[in-house]
Amino acid sequence: MRVRLAVSCRTFGPHSVPAMKSTFAQARKLLVCALALTALSTAVASPARAGSGLDWKACAQGSDDAVGLELDRAGGRCAELTVPLDHSKAAGRTIKLELSRIPATDRARRIGTMVLNSGGPGESTLGMPLRTRAAMKDVAARFDLIGLDPRFVGRSTPLDCGWPVGMWIRSAGATRASFDRQVVVQRDLANRCAQRHADVLPYVNTRDTARDIDLVRRALGERRISFLGYSYGSYLGAVYTQMFPGRTDRVVLDSAGDPGKWSPRATQGSEEEAERALRGWARWAARRHDTYGLGDTPARVLGTVNSIVVATQDRPLRVGEYEVDDQVVPYILAGSGDDRPAARAEFASTVRILNEAAHGRSAKPGPELAGFLAFVLSSAGSPLASPAAAIICGDNAAPRDPEVYWNDIQRSRARHPLFGPLKNNIWPCASWPNQPRERATHIANATPALIVSSTGDTATTYEGSKAMRRALTGSRLLTLRDTTAHGIYGEYGNACVDAKVNAYLATGVLPAVDQTCRPDAGR
């Protein structure tokens, strides 16, 4: 899952749950977006019918709605679509979906409609057409770009479990006692969702979101739609191609995970990628010892990181108004998965602040880290983390016996002492009030799609993207080599990737074989 924020509200978590990214800049934007979105009540109107049309209007819901105002300035418009809560009961209870559209300006050469999803799950996509339009350059003029907040996310009948914290992802800590405390906390989070939303939780899942997308297609009067999804959005796009064959045109799946492993345990197996990214960052930081003071060799930088973790085992660290313990700090340290200089510098500043706290000195977080901690540790993050958990738990059942998690943690800890207890820890899904209503979708079809991945992705790993390539036999894989990043097209800034994706979007023709790009010179 990632915490990707669209101008966005797009990404959280260790930049994925399996696709919850966690750069602190994005987490802060996510928090801002969460506070800006206003709750909408559940609708009772009749569900949309094919060709019923949509009532497009201004997007801004007030003078402080930054995303809505920017959409309006860009010529965008927003609309509501009424869909069934339970798609098997079209005449039953309904909910409202909110969507945005920036229309094609080159109507003579218009290709069609592109539906967007920014990932998460749980991230608002309403503002994504703004970012996507910039990435697409000239070809954007030939598409209607649709931002759709998935059911129970953002403005689409939002779901909030009223959690006292935001992101639920934690490390198990160093001891059995700390793990047992996590079991209690995660059970409480699940119970809070059950108390507030037991009636809708069975309908918070990817398959019902895919059905919503097809109703959007019908309401727009399109025979086929194009689709661009990042991280979890890639999984959603793949599910749509499986459930509704023949209804897609161009499909781009960026930072795709293994569709067969999407589950409440999807972060398992990515320990090595997280460690490799941390080592890469340590080499970068060692060359800048005069700036950050974390060590003049990679080994000494990693020693500083380890000393921070060890310090948290004795007492929580005071960082501004927050306390971070041995369950939170590993989650913070999983945020090294972006090798761009600005991201590495931000991460180095965070480690320096943690190091100050570990030595008992005053540690005041900057705005990025402060926003991230507010998202993770306070109720401000609940409106986005709640639907993310509900979607993950609603797609696949999780083991309910805590011993399963503890045994996995211990096995992984032996090789991966920092990230093993994080990647294998228990989540609220272990105590979720309902089992998934349907089996998870098995992805196996020949839909043409362009899959984009970096070799160093720490969230949805490169091996996962190769598995998606095998599942979609008509697809091609575009690999950005020697790069640590999650979210490539239009985000990372690689000219080769952006050009190849835009060529596919313009022509609809996939490369004859899988393609490779290299980091731009000067990175």
pLDDT of residue 53: 73
- Sites in the chain below the pLDDT cut of 50: 1-51
* Token pair of 349 as six digits: 């500043």
List the one residue out of 75, 378, 99 whose CA is nearest residue 215: 99
Backbone angles phi, psi at 371, to 5 degrees: -65, -40
> Within a 13 Å sphere around the CA of 517, how many CA atoms are in the beta-carbon half?
24
pLDDT of residue 428: 98
Query: Residue for token digits 């340290």?
Result: 333
Query: Residue for token digits 């109507």?
Result: 107
* Token pair of 428 as six digits: 């609220």
Residue 271, helix vs strand vs coil: helix
pLDDT of residue 25: 38
pLDDT of residue 521: 60
